[in-house]
Amino acid sequence: MSTNKKEAFTQEEQELAELAKALAHPARIAILKELARRNVCICGEIVEVLPLAQSTVSQHLKELQQAGLIKGSVDGVKSCYCINYEAFKRFEGILEKFFRITENSQGCC
């Protein structure tokens, strides 16, 4: 990104992009909010609460888990998910750093 083109994007840029992508759908935001609201983990209750099919919700949960923002565990026949607090802290840190960069610039348009 500095002089020669060709070298793709930095690790940081990619990590931030991936985390942002996890938030880039209202359903996933709603899921995260719901997980946070009930401090006891939930599972198919999320399906009850969202206007989406069970398989679709399951998919969103998987994406959130792959992004690291939530943790999951199996409890009998049920599945239990919850906020990954550490991941959110890290996410916050990365964002804060990014926003700080944008603060130094005094737009001209």
Partner DNA sequence: CCCTTTCATCGTTTTTTTACGATAAATTTT
Partner DNA sequence: AAAATTTATCGTAAAAAAACGATGAAAGGG
- Alpha-helical (H) ranges within the chain are 11-22, 26-37, 45-49, 54-66, 85-103
CA distance 100 to 26: 26
Smallest separation (angstroms) from DNA to the CB of 51: 7
Where along the sequence are the contacts to its own copies (CB under 8 A)?
1-2, 5-10, 13-14, 16-18, 20-30, 32-41, 48-51, 71-73, 80-85, 88, 91-92, 95, 98-99, 101-109
* Distance, CA of 96 to CA of 62 (rounded, Å): 26
106 alpha-carbon distance from chain centroid = 30
Q: Which residues bind DNA (CB under 7 A)?
A: 21, 24-25, 27, 43-44, 47, 52-56, 58-63, 72, 74-79
Choose from DNA, its own copies, none: what does 56 bind? Cβ within 5-8 Å by kind. DNA
